[in-house]
Amino acid sequence: MRVVGGRCKGVRLASFRGRSIRPTSDKVREAVFNILANMLDLGSVGKVLDLFAGTGAMGIEALSRGAAGAVFGYYHVSFYPQFAFSPLWTFDALLITFLGGVGTLWGPVLGAAFFLPLREVLALQPRLVEVHLLIFGILFILIVVALPGGFVEACRSVAAHRQRLREGHAA
């Protein structure tokens, strides 16, 4: 499997062994993106969604052809058995992204570093397992209202404020 067009044309993509994941073939991806190229400019679209990203080949192909970003929807089983086949588990990825900072490289990493330990702590508290979605919903609302840029933007603001204070003391 390889990238068939764009800046990364020819780059080989790793693939999983087994029959549980069947990547989109090179020829199908090439045909899809040739059709899309006639209808729109990927660079002007901005971001793409690779909803069934087993290997991420479609999203990587879009990035190679000029998309500004890609969101990959992977299948995984949550450790909350009652939500294993429910769309509620996708809230985790959304909250992680907003916590850290949408549109940033380090935002989801910072969001995950905060969110995943918090989720584990809540999962170990028997009284809180049933209300964890309510807690995360409140956290999501607070982040959107108080820190719309997430942790990354908050860190940048604090750094800029400190810089202004240093420049004020130096003068």
DSSP 47: E
Beta bridge partners of 70: 48
Read off the pLDDT of residues 2-25 as tens digits, 9 standing for 90 and up.
888 888 888 887 766 665 667 788
Mean pLDDT, all residues of the chain? 79
Between helix 57-64 and helix 26-39 the angle, nearest 10°, is 50
Does 59 lie in the same domain as 10?
A: yes
| Beta-carbon count within 10 A of 77 CB | 10
Mean pLDDT of 51-69: 80
**What pLDDT sits at residue 170?**
64
| Beta-carbon count within 10 A of 94 CB | 14
Does 118 lie in the same domain as 53?
A: no
Does 93 lie in the same domain as 30?
A: no
60: CATH:
3.40.50.150
Does 96 lie in the same domain as 65?
A: no
Q: Which residues form the domain of 11?
A: 1-75
| Beta-carbon count within 10 A of 104 CB | 18
Q: Is the pLDDT of residue 161 over 60?
A: yes
Does 114 lie in the same domain as 57?
A: no
Read off the pLDDT of residues 78-112 as tens digits, 9 standing for 90 and up.
445 555 555 555 677 778 888 888 888 888 888 88
**What pLDDT sits at residue 78?**
43
pLDDT-based confidence at 65, cuts 50/70/90?
confident
CB 50 within 8 A of CB 58: yes
User: How many structural domains compose the chain?
Assistant: 2
Does 13 lie in the same domain as 94?
A: no
Q: Which of 51-60, 67-76, 149-158, 162-171 has the highest mean pLDDT?
A: 149-158
**What pLDDT sits at residue 43?**
66
**What pLDDT sits at residue 162?**
92
pLDDT top residue among 125 and 161 = 161
Q: Which residues have a Cβ under 8 Å from the Cβ of 88 and sit 6 or more positions away?
A: 133
Read off the pLDDT of residues 134-158 as tens digits, 9 standing for 90 and up.
888 888 888 888 888 888 888 899 9
Beta bridge partners of 12: 2
pLDDT-based confidence at 77, cuts 50/70/90?
very low
Q: Which residues have a Cβ under 8 Å from the Cβ of 153 and sit 6 or more positions away?
A: 101, 104, 147
- Among the listed residues 54, 62, 11, the one whose alpha carbon sits nearest the alpha carbon of residue 32: 62
